[in-house]
Amino acid sequence: MEKVCFIVNPLAGIGGPLGLKGSDGEAGLEALRRGARLVAPSRAREFIAEAKRIGVLDKVIVLTANGLMGEDELRSEGYQSPIIVYKYETFPTRVEDTKRTITKCLREGAELIVFVGGDGTARDVLSALKRAGSTDTPLLGVPGGVKMYSSVFAENPRAAAHVLHEWLENPSTCEAEILDIDEEAFRRGELRVRLYGYARTPCSRFLVGSSKQPSLGTPDEEENKEGIARYVVENMEHCTLYVLGPGSTTAKIAELMKAPKTLLGVDVYHNGRLVASDVDEETLYNIVSDHVKRGGKVKIIVSPIGGQGYILGRGNQQISPRIIRLVGKENIIVIATHSKIARLKKLRIDTGDPELDKGLRGYIRVVVDYGEEYVMKIE
């Protein structure tokens, strides 16, 4: 039986709903201080439940760490025989706990590292592999963070279970980029992506397989964005609340309304005026639910992450499942430039709620220019 190292970063993703743009370092601790709910453990359990359903856990020996770094999630889903190779002493866990778990796993003969987290966790895992001289050991990322630009991540936790299943049948690997952003610059509205290295990852159609691509910023691209924005603004309905997700294309809409916009945050508008800026999930839910209770309509405007195609659940976790349910799929407006759409075969969602994701799948219109729309499939 293959030995698989399974590791959870408990703080991964905790800063997303609060609008903290990440969970690394002080941001994760601040989210804890605010009483934020842990996200990664539930994503881990989702992965384990699917792996158990398809029989993968019967074919592997699982090496992990104690508590919330893996053991608790495995046992809660009925896997009662994990081998605990490392025990952390205090919570919250630290980067060094992740690295030491990887080191212990490698010493026990782990042939694949499965981790739950985001790009920061991917960096930590790669660093541990480099320190151990084991960079040929493949990685598989179960998406649990706020930002996942690296190409080692599966489309969602359930898809990760199927990647593991495929790898057990055919242990071929492909080269993948490990990238991360400068979170401090990100919180200032600047997107700085850095390549930290390359890793091996299982070759699979269930992996995202491409890192985020920035907007081109060419004159044609800017003209395209303005066409989209004019079309959206001219068709805005009176007394309707508009929730604008992150991105330069949504920012162009605010610009035409002569209203401010946080480039990498979520903002709320009503009758062309800013209602709330850079909101967290709780604030957004209260605004939306109050408006709905008063009989008002709400629309969400989002743009897919370039190169990946996610419209919900990546980088805009403030727009949570309970908010999406209140608004309804029919009131979600997707916008994207021609160049962005040309790089995508489909749109993706990963809200953290499998039932909601299932209901959102299907076809949706995408505004790609003034008066021009494509119909694309959400998978």
286-341: pLDDT as tens digits? 999 999 999 999 999 999 976 689 999 988 999 999 999 999 999 999 999 998 88
| pLDDT score at 186 | 62
Query: 212-254 pLDDT, tens per residue?
Result: 444 545 678 889 999 999 999 999 999 999 999 988 899 999 9
Q: What is the pLDDT of residues 177-197, one digit of tens each?
A: 898 876 666 656 666 777 889
Task: Supply the pLDDT for residue 179.
Answer: 85
Of 128-137, 235-244, 256-265, the poorest mean pLDDT is in 256-265
Longest CA–CA separation in the chain, Å: 63
Region of poorest pLDDT, from 23-27, 34-38, 307-311: 23-27
Tokens representing residue 309 in the block: 């195609």
Q: Cis omega (within 30 of 0) on the bond before 214?
A: no
What is the pLDDT averaged over residues 1-24? 84
- The model's pTM is 0.79
- Exposure class string for 194-210: b at 16+ Cβ within 10 A, else e: eeebebbbbbbebbbbe
Q: How many CB atoms lie within 10 A of CB 177?
A: 18
C-beta separation of 287 from 276 below 8 A: yes
> Which CATH number describes the domain made up of 2-202?
3.40.50
Query: What is the pLDDT, as a whole number, of residue 136?
Result: 94
pLDDT of residue 217: 56
Half-sphere exposure of residue 359, counting CA atoms within 13 Å on the CB side?
12
The chain-wide mean pLDDT, for the chain, equals 91
**CA proximity to 110, closest of 98, 122, 102, 118:** 102
Task: Tell me how far CA of residue 75 lies from CA of 41, 48, 66, 142, in angstroms.
Answer: 12, 10, 11, 18
Give the DSSP H or E segment for 251.
Answer: helix 248-256
